[in-house]
Amino acid sequence: MSNENGFTIWFTGLSGSGKTTLAEQVARELRVREINVEILDGDEVRANLSKGLGFSKEDRDTNIRRIGYVSRLLARNGVGVISAAISPYRSIRDEVRRSIEADGGSFIEIYVKCPVHVLARRDVKGLYRKALVGEISQFTGISDPYEEPLHPEVVVETDQESVEDSTTKILVALERQGLLSSADEVWQDTLQQQNLEVTIHSQELTIDPQEVCG
Ligand SMILES: Nc1ncnc2c1ncn2[C@@H]1O[C@H](COP(=O)(O)OP(=O)(O)O)[C@@H](O)[C@H]1O
Ligand SMILES: [Mg+2]
């Protein structure tokens, strides 16, 4: 397991496409594999690290650069970083990729793809309705640009896949990149640990009676 090196999983996609949902699912799976994980979720970052920033291109870029910067610091200390922000602009995503890769880290871009009309119907946070009637301006996909990734490591199509399907797709990609053990290896590790415990236990059992007899 290349846990020591850390890596950055970078979700990008429209509001409501599934970034937070998948970030949490993937984080759970990574923690099972004893990887230290930190999620940098767009909404949370905007409430803290990027508090006060708006939705102009300049502010969006600043927000993403900050997430990229923190991701790089965490990843180089062995953390599996998961960024889950819209990150609508390709050039800034690529800039973040370059800075992390220059540091020797892996950057896995995941395009969480879903058509706008499905998202408007899904409307998890009621934002599409507001954007469509003009109550919110600069809303990505409605009144603000979203630039699709050209070469993402993974594309998940959340209008066609279940959360489990998309999570599996991402985990398989991480395995292929050598960033985590395959499910089989994890299972084997668990079995080995159990065997070890059984062995230790039976050693104790054989030693104890001797001690008692002696
Ligand atoms: N394959 C999928 N992956 C992720 N979310 C999905 C998927 N299919 C349906 N959904 C649903 O889409 C919604 C995504 O919301 P959320 O994760 O908050 O989006 P975002 O963080 O991108 O704004 C959730 O209600 C989730 O249950
Ligand atoms: Mg979210």
pLDDT digits (tens, 9 = 90+) for 181-196: 766 666 666 666 666 5
The best mutation among 121, 123, 124 to test binding of ligand 1, ranked by most ligand atoms within 8 Å of the C-beta, falls on: 124
Model confidence at 3: pLDDT above 60: no
| Band of residue 164 on the pLDDT scale cut at 50, 70, 90 | very high
Q: For position 205, what pLDDT does the model report? A: 47
Does the pLDDT at position 66 exceed 70?
A: yes
The predicted structure's pLDDT at residue 182: 65
Amino acid letter, 153: E
- The pLDDT, as a whole number, for residue 90 is 98
How far away, in angstroms, is 19 Cα from ligand 2 center? 5
Relative to beta strand 7-12, strand 80-84 is: parallel
Token couple for 106:
């892996």
Q: Whose CA is nearest to atom 16 of ligand 1?
A: 18
**pLDDT recorded at residue 181:** 73
Cross-sheet strand order for the sheet of 154-157: 37-41, 80-84, 7-12, 106-113, 154-157
Is the distance from the beta carbon of residue 161 to the nearest atom of ligand 1 less than 6 Å? yes
- What is the third-level CATH fold of 7-182? Rossmann fold (3.40.50)
Structural domain boundaries of the chain? 7-182
pLDDT of 108 above 60: yes
15 is catalytic: no
Q: Where do the DSSP E strands lie in the chain?
A: 7-12, 37-41, 80-84, 106-113, 154-157
Atom of ligand 1 nearest to the CA of 165: 1
19-23, 107-111, 187-191, 195-199: least confidently modelled range: 195-199
Across all residues in the chain, what is the average pLDDT?
89
Distance between Cα 124 and ligand 1 center (Å): 8
- Flag whether pLDDT at 58 surpasses 70: yes
pLDDT band, residue 5 (cuts 50/70/90): confident
Say which residue, 197 or 22, is predicted with more confidence: 22
